[in-house]
Amino acid sequence: MPPAATVAAGASLPPADLDGLRPGFSRLVEVSESGIPGASRTGIPGASRTWHLLDNAAQLAELGVEPIGTVLCVHGNPTWSYLWRAFVADATDAAARGDAAWRVVAVDQLEMGFSERTGTVRTLERRVRDLGDLTRALELDGPVVTFGHDWGGVVSLGWAVDHPEQLAGVMLLNTAVHQREDEPIPAPLRLALRRSILGRATVSTPAFLETTLALAHPPLSAAVKAGYRAPYRHAELRGGIGGFVADIPADAAHESFAELDRIASGIRTLGVPSLLLWGPRDPIFGDRYLDDLLERMPRSDVHRFEGAGHLIAEDADYAPAALAWLGDQSSDRAAPARPGRDDHYQPLWHYLDELRDSDDTALVEMAPGGSAMSGAAQKSGPRVVSWRLLSRRVRELAAGLDRTGVRRGDRVSLLVPPGADLTAVLYACVRIGAIVVVADAGLGLRGLTRAVRGARPDHVIGQSKGLTAALALGWPGRRISTTRLPGPAGRALGVTHCLADLVEIGAASLAAGAGLPPEPGSDDVAAVLFTSGSTGPAKGVVYTHAQLSGIRFALAGQYGVGPGTGLVAGFAPFALLGPALGARSATPDMDVTSPGTLTATAVADAVAAVDGTVVFLSPAAIANVVATESDLTPAHRASLAEVHEFLSAGAPVSEPLLAAAARLMPGAVAHTPYGMTEGLLLTDTTLDGIRHAVRDSAGRGEADAGGVCVGTPTATTVVRISAINSLGVPTGEPSLQPNVTGEIVVSAPHIKNGYDRLWITDRASRLGTEPGERWHRTGDVGHLDDAGRLWVEGRLPHVVVTASGVVTPVATEQRIEGIAPVSRAAIVGIGPRGTQQLVAIVETIAGSRRVSLAPAELAAAVRLAAVLPLAAVLVVPKLPTDIRHNSKIDRTRLAAWATVVLSGGPMRQP
């Protein structure tokens, strides 16, 4: 007999003294069971069953408030409605404060908790129908937001799929709706499913229950454990636990498999807002299940609570987050937000104010030079800056800037290397409403001159080297030095103040009782950030305070970066966002103008310095980090093993390169987000996600998928494709049609406000004219696959138009790079557009000292891999790349160079 077939027992109210559970929420409800085919196993039609619920309807009535909707909470196995006690209480308390009032109904599923033990087998299909019976009995008519955990998440999603007319949203704690055939189900469940173990582990003994309770981080108190054990004191009360485990559809032959598949498919079409709150340390429903949910509901809001596991409701303070999300949804119900709207504005300096009295580490500068933060030069050793010091310095610098004439709306060009000084100055500027202008030193003097002159700064803050260049090249703006210069040098450079002066002036002003200027508005311009110049002259991208805040929320939501997180950024923009996220941050010791100088030991040292859990590196940096792996000590490797999330972006990242880096951080989920200066973090995928995508394409018999998979849109992003015509021009109406190559068009709250003083360029990059819409044409070419994943195939200017049709470069390059001798490859077109010929240009692993036609054997291998006809194969010592990332190949430059070479010109390095 299955473990669920136990002696029938009636429902009852829980003991009144259970830790954290308010007795007034408990109630018993009689529900008429609808029954389904196979009633002898699943219930008798029309039978009355008694459910135990936690329900705050009575409390809301006492408060005299009308709920705006109901949150239907469904526990999993082997928990019960006790799991939701904090959420029910917090929702009730919020209503008492005058916040949005939500009725919360947290059920005990039949056979579980203090609900009736019916003595019947309850399959997944039956449980979904049970929940429908209950909501019908309660006369819930919407709007309803479901909230599920563990297998209760599946049951709640089944109800959501069956009641679209009542559904207003979906919230989930760790759960799963799909199990890949090529992956085993979690080890604890495999063990429990063994026939020889199932009954003893789940029913005869409380082993399964106790194992689940042991998954909490930190361990549960004795009182909370007693609360979870309360309804399962005896074997005859634990039949539902065994029945739930037995109902796990381990394969397609299981009777609940079809229902699980129905639910997994159905959630793709829910069309309602969704929130996923996740515990990454879950040994049962780990991140692979989160990835699957995001693939099915790609616009979900996500928060990963670092350190939390399967019992996320106990590990993390999830209830306030869920209520806040509900508040956002309810406030938008009458007027849904258009793409581009930001409902989560929080100024960048929020955590600097919140943590101003904290001595915890805010940032670590691995190779400091010293000035504003320390007051004197520091020759060696990392500089550790606390939140208290950083907050004070930012306020002092802000006051000093204001007192010395920097006004709201003034432009301030920052020629300061990444580190403590740049961070403090940047946050001081945005706090007083000044507009920061940031251009990479890697642009070189010519590129910087063009950028700074184009931005027309009112003030320039920099080191003596940058200020010397500013003077020599006639850059505009009043000069402020990062360090105190000797009198003659300062006067020669036109320096009016140094940062130490501003600190002194600001500190004196604040001590005298003068405050800071009023905060800028969310729609005020905050920054002009210059692109890398990899696809033409660097462009100034304008961001408002709200859009910068949107970047912060996108990062926090997607990767769980926040207070307590250690962030290591081998890419300056992400290091600068550390304080906005409330995270400890460090930039590894490296030449920021050359990411390829970053070493494995430098990354490990930075991770150790901030107890790093999230690491961001550019693709070019990864290559050298992997190449220098042999220099790592055991201590270095131990530090890297503590990393939870690894991100690489700036250019499409190949699976082998991402895998090589992931091996250095074995505990991390490897991500490769897609984005650009105009919109950071637009889509995201993981290493496993890339592999799944490649396997999917291989399963369809495709030689390749036509590019690099960059995953599905992040929670606040919408992606469309504007199909290109036979001339390689995007003319199609932006759509979600799969497997159509075109220009990638995106919209998100954190998309740029525009290009700085480049009206034609800005106009050409925009789509949509309705108020509030902000669509950006990325200039990238790609397609969406059948699963909604985005594949990047190259840049629009790099599309080759041959007599046989349009060719995008990335897929062919990847095939060529699969040849053993080839390190990197580029595909370009020469000749008139429409009859262009394809040329392959390669770097070899062995290296070449000169430019040449490829040897016959290599040329033959490249032609075979390319599949497409090639006019020539050229070998070069080094392919030209962009300055910032050292990873984006300059195909436009290569095409012009190849045209000259193949026309009889000199064989010079491109």
Q: List, for residues 396-442, the tens digit of each pLDDT value.
A: 999 999 999 999 999 899 988 888 899 999 999 999 999 999 887 66
For residue 345, what pLDDT band results from cuts at 50, 70 and 90? confident
* pLDDT for residue 192: 58
Tell me which of 202-211, 360-369, 532-541 is least confident.
532-541
The candidate with the shortest Cα–Cα distance to 110, out of 150, 148, 152, is 152
* Bond from prior residue into 877 cis (ω within 30 degrees of 0): no
* pLDDT for residue 342: 45
* pLDDT for residue 443: 72
pLDDT of 49 > 50? The answer is yes
Compute how many other C-beta atoms are within 10 angstroms of the C-beta atom of residue 248: 20
Q: List, for residues 243-276, the tens digit of each pLDDT value.
A: 989 888 877 888 999 999 999 999 999 999 999 9
pLDDT of 72 > 70? The answer is yes
Mean pLDDT of 568-579: 80
Provide the mean pLDDT of the chain: 87
Q: How far apart are CA 519 and CA 853, in angstroms?
A: 61
List of residues 6+ apart from 698 with CB closer than 8 A: none
* pLDDT for residue 334: 33
* Bond from prior residue into 218 cis (ω within 30 degrees of 0): yes
Mean pLDDT of 310-330: 90
Tell me which of 106-120, 131-145, 178-192, 307-321 is least confident.
178-192
* pLDDT for residue 4: 43
For residue 534, what pLDDT band results from cuts at 50, 70 and 90? low
For residue 754, what pLDDT band results from cuts at 50, 70 and 90? confident
pLDDT of 651 > 70? The answer is no
* pLDDT for residue 888: 73
497 pairs with which residues across the strands?
480
Contacts 24+ apart (CB under 8 A), 859-868: 861/819, 861/821, 862/816, 862/819, 862/822, 862/825, 865/815, 865/816, 865/818, 865/819, 866/812, 866/815, 866/816, 866/827, 866/838, 866/840, 867/703, 867/812, 867/815, 868/807, 868/812, 868/838
List of residues 6+ apart from 871 with CB closer than 8 A: 830, 837, 838, 839, 902
pLDDT of 572 > 80? The answer is no
Q: When comparing pLDDT for 884 and 702, which is higher?
A: 702
* pLDDT for residue 254: 86
Give Rg (Cα) of the chain: 30
Helix then strand then coil, in percent of the chain rounded to 5, is: 40, 20, 40
Mean pLDDT of 464-468: 87
Mean pLDDT of 871-888: 76
Mean pLDDT of 467-496: 89
Mean pLDDT of 207-211: 93
pLDDT of 230 > 50? The answer is yes
Q: How far apart are CA 289 and CA 273, in angstroms?
A: 19
Q: List, for residues 676-685, the tens digit of each pLDDT value.
A: 889 988 999 9
Judge contact between 555 and 573, C-beta under 8 A. no
User: Residues of 774-803 as b/e, b for ≥16 C-beta within 10 angstroms?
Assistant: bbbbbbbbbbbbeebbbbbbbbbebbbbbe
3-class secondary structure, 6: coil
pLDDT of 234 > 90? The answer is yes
307's enclosing H/E stretch is none
* Bond from prior residue into 67 cis (ω within 30 degrees of 0): no
Q: How far apart are CA 192 and CA 68, in angstroms?
A: 42
pLDDT of 340 > 60? The answer is no
Tell me which of 7-11, 234-238, 292-296, 832-836 is least confident.
7-11
Q: Which token pair is 408? A: 């709201």
Burial environment of residue 358 by CB neighbours within 10 A (0 to 12, 13 to 18, 19 or more): middle
Q: How far apart are CA 536 and CA 550, in angstroms?
A: 27
pTM, full prediction? 0.61
Q: Which of 144-148, 176-180, 313-317, 767-771 is predicted most confidently?
A: 144-148
**Alpha helices, DSSP H only, in 79-184?**
85-96, 124-137, 151-162
List of residues 6+ apart from 320 with CB closer than 8 A: 90
Alpha carbon separation from 663 to 254, 315, 620, 643, 820 (Å, rounded) = 37, 28, 17, 11, 21
For the chain, domains (ranges, CATH) are: 23-330 (3.40.50.1820), 350-559 (3.40.50.980), 588-672 (3.40.50.980), 674-796 (2.30.38.10), 799-901 (3.30.300.30)
Q: List, for residues 88-126, the tens digit of each pLDDT value.
A: 999 999 999 999 999 999 999 999 999 999 988 899 999
Euclidean distance between the first and final Cα of the chain, in Å? 76
3-class secondary structure, 254: coil
* pLDDT for residue 822: 92
* pLDDT for residue 537: 72
Mean pLDDT of 129-140: 96
Q: How far apart are CA 689 and CA 34, in angstroms?
A: 41
For residue 341, what pLDDT band results from cuts at 50, 70 and 90? very low
* pLDDT for residue 41: 40
Percent of the chain with pLDDT over 90: 59
3-state secondary structure 312-363: HHHHCCHHHHHHHHHHHHHHCCCCCCCCCCCCCCCCCCHHHHHCCCCCCEEE
